[in-house]
Structure 1
């Protein structure tokens, strides 16, 4: 049994309340169990209890064993002086506040409903290889419950992504254009090179790029030079185009003192990447985008459909990077594909718009931004395929993002009691469709 089960039992009062008494024998009446506390401090706040003849208002702390109180050093933490009841699985020690006054304890282990505990254990103790802890029981869950939970997970996932954007916005002095630039640069790395591209965004300040945004050649020189791709080697030494960019970069690097922040070619990842995903290819696409779309944030904010956003991302790439996978190495390069654009909309555009909407207080913009995900095709990977095979709706990117959030936030860490699906199965083992 884990502590989260006791949290769940206390929150919903799923235990035998007959002759309810503290470990010291004092009668207990639960008038209000309290609200879960997501911050530091006791687990439940604003609880209301009657202990004997006295009514108490305060906090409730929950542990598997009463002795965990001392292991967690609560006896020296003033935040826990507000605790009026210590709810435990087993009472193996008395505990006190910082002033030495004893805290009443309620042991739940003898009062747990055996069938409730059995259903909970069946979920959280499912084999690690099981696709979902609840997979064998999903036929007992109404479709509306699965849909509701997937949508809730989607909202949580997008809120989390928006939080990252909001933190970036704060770090960049609340400049939304700079935020869009840094977010797009990192996203164009598509996981493998996301971190190097994020560093490149810092190495080429937007203020410098803005001065040269109308000159594609200078944009190329700045970005490819700072990325370390213009260094001489046997493939580039005789490439006139690369040598021309190198001369331009040497001039601009000296002008803006960029040398100390320049990257090296070994900092980029090529392992297990198809040539179309090579860093120079993505950087060439970024050059085309930055040149053709100078007002990044405004364009991303005002686009009213995925069609408009697709056009935004399909800016023409410089000719050289349509025919070279790497500097000095020729080969036909495909344009930025629809699947890649869908990922950029999902991972950058929607979170960026949600973060902005929260910042300025426009809930309608949050809704319209999330609606974009329903215009995009579903993403298929090893995680979403499992849910689809188990009957979860999976038609759009909104579904995919919800299923990924369900996996990462609930199923993989076995947080079944925090999930509407798991909670329903624990409560009611035989639910009719």
Structure 2
């Protein structure tokens, strides 16, 4: 059993309250269990309890064993002096506040229904490697519960991504254009190279790029030079285009005091990447986008459809980077693909629009931004496929994002009791595990 289960039991009051008393025999009335505390300190705050003839408003701390109080050093932590009731599964020790005053305890072990405990144990019995702990029990869950939970997880995922954009916006002195630039730069790394591209965005300030957006050659020089791709080696020794970019970069970096290249070639990841995903290819596509789209943020905020956004991302890369996978290494390079554009809309455009809408108070923009996900096709990977095989709806990117959020935020950390599906399984009638 995990302590999380006792939190769930206390929050929903799923225990026998007949003749409810402390271990010392004092009568208890739970007028309000309080609310979960997400920060340091007691587990539940602002609980309302009547102990004997006295009504208390304070905190409740929960442990599997009463002796965990001392093991966690709560007896020396003043934050726990507000605790008015110690709720435990097994009572094996008295506890006290920092001033030595005793804290009454409630032992839940004898008050838990065996069926409730059995349902919980059936839910958590899945091996650690199981992708979905509740998979054997899903047939017992109403379809509406699964749909609603996937939708809830989707909104939580979008909100979390929007929070990250809002934090970036704050770090960039509340400049939305710079926020769009930094977000797009990192996203063009498509995970494998997101970190070095995010560093490159810091190394080449948007204020500098803005002065040269009209000149694609200078944009390339700034970006590729600071990325460390304009080195002199055997492959580029006879490449006059790279040599010209190198000379331009030297001039511009001295002009703006940028210093030498911010990254080295070895800091970029090529392992298990197809040539079309190589970092120089993506950087060339970014250079083309920055040259063709002078107002990034405004365009992303005002686009009315997935079609309009797709057209936005179709800006052609410079001619050299449509014919070279790496500096000095020729080859036919495809344009930014449809699936890549869909990922950019999902991971950059929607969170950016939601973060902006929240900051200016435009709830309609939040709704229309999330609705874009329903226009995109579903993403398929090992996680979404596992949910789909279990009967979860999976037709659009909105479905994919909800299922990925379920996996990451609930299934992997085993937060089953925080999930509507897991909660339904624990609450429901006696369940039979279907193998």
Compute the TM-score of the two structures, normalised by the length of structure 1: 0.97
- Secondary structure at 1:212's aligned position in 2? coil
CA distance in 1: counterparts of 2:165 and 2:309, whole angstroms: 19
- The answer to whether residue 279 in structure 2 is matched with residue 279 in structure 1 is yes
1:273-422 equivalence runs, <5 A = 273-422=273-422
CA distance in 2: counterparts of 1:218 and 1:170, whole angstroms: 29
Structure 1, unaligned stretches of length 5 or more?
Answer: none
Q: Deviations over 1:233-256 (max 9, x none)?
A: 111110111111111111111111
The Cα shift of 1:222 comes to 0.4
CA distance in 2: counterparts of 1:205 and 1:54, whole angstroms: 63
CA distance in 2: counterparts of 1:173 and 1:415, whole angstroms: 36
- Secondary structure at 2:127's aligned position in 1? coil
- The answer to whether residue 202 in structure 2 is matched with residue 202 in structure 1 is yes
CA distance in 1: counterparts of 2:429 and 2:262, whole angstroms: 60
CA distance in 2: counterparts of 1:178 and 1:66, whole angstroms: 53
Q: Deviations over 1:208-241 (max 9, x none)?
A: 1011011000000000011111101111110111
CA distance in 1: counterparts of 2:73 and 2:313, whole angstroms: 54
Moved more, 49-58 or 372-381: 49-58
- Secondary structure at 2:189's aligned position in 1? coil
- Secondary structure at 2:325's aligned position in 1? strand
- Secondary structure at 2:192's aligned position in 1? coil
The Cα shift of 1:387 comes to 0.2
Match of 1:21? 21
Query: Is residue 181–residue 206 contact of structure 1 (8 Å, CA) maintained in 2?
Result: yes
CA distance in 1: counterparts of 2:71 and 2:299, whole angstroms: 54
CA distance in 2: counterparts of 1:429 and 1:290, whole angstroms: 59
- Secondary structure at 1:45's aligned position in 2? strand
CA distance in 2: counterparts of 1:102 and 1:338, whole angstroms: 65
CA distance in 2: counterparts of 1:246 and 1:131, whole angstroms: 49
The Cα shift of 1:53 comes to 1.6
Query: Is residue 119–residue 430 contact of structure 2 (8 Å, CA) maintained in 1?
Result: no
CA distance in 1: counterparts of 2:101 and 2:262, whole angstroms: 62
Match of 1:145? 145
- Secondary structure at 1:137's aligned position in 2? helix
- Secondary structure at 2:269's aligned position in 1? coil
The Cα shift of 1:8 comes to 0.5
CA distance in 2: counterparts of 1:294 and 1:50, whole angstroms: 65
- Secondary structure at 1:95's aligned position in 2? coil
**Moved >4 Å (runs of 4+):** none
Match of 1:177? 177
- The answer to whether residue 230 in structure 2 is matched with residue 269 in structure 1 is no
- Secondary structure at 1:259's aligned position in 2? coil
CA distance in 1: counterparts of 2:340 and 2:53, whole angstroms: 66
The Cα shift of 1:39 comes to 2.2
The Cα shift of 1:430 comes to 5.9
Match of 2:80? 80
- The answer to whether residue 70 in structure 2 is matched with residue 67 in structure 1 is no
CA distance in 2: counterparts of 1:89 and 1:173, whole angstroms: 50
Match of 1:231? 231
The Cα shift of 1:129 comes to 3.6
Q: Deviations over 1:38-88 (max 9, x none)?
A: 222221122111111222111111111112222222222222222111101
The Cα shift of 1:163 comes to 1.2
1:68-217 equivalence runs, <5 A = 68-217=68-217
Query: Is residue 42–residue 60 contact of structure 1 (8 Å, CA) maintained in 2?
Result: yes
Query: Is residue 310–residue 341 contact of structure 1 (8 Å, CA) maintained in 2?
Result: yes
- Secondary structure at 1:298's aligned position in 2? helix
Match of 1:43? 43
The Cα shift of 1:261 comes to 5.4
Equivalenced residues, count: 432
Query: Is residue 48–residue 55 contact of structure 2 (8 Å, CA) maintained in 1?
Result: yes
Structure 2, unaligned stretches of length 5 or more?
Answer: none
Query: Is residue 324–residue 333 contact of structure 1 (8 Å, CA) maintained in 2?
Result: yes
Compute the TM-score of the two structures, normalised by the length of structure 2: 0.97
CA distance in 1: counterparts of 2:180 and 2:429, whole angstroms: 48
- Secondary structure at 1:92's aligned position in 2? coil
Query: Is residue 140–residue 429 contact of structure 1 (8 Å, CA) maintained in 2?
Result: no
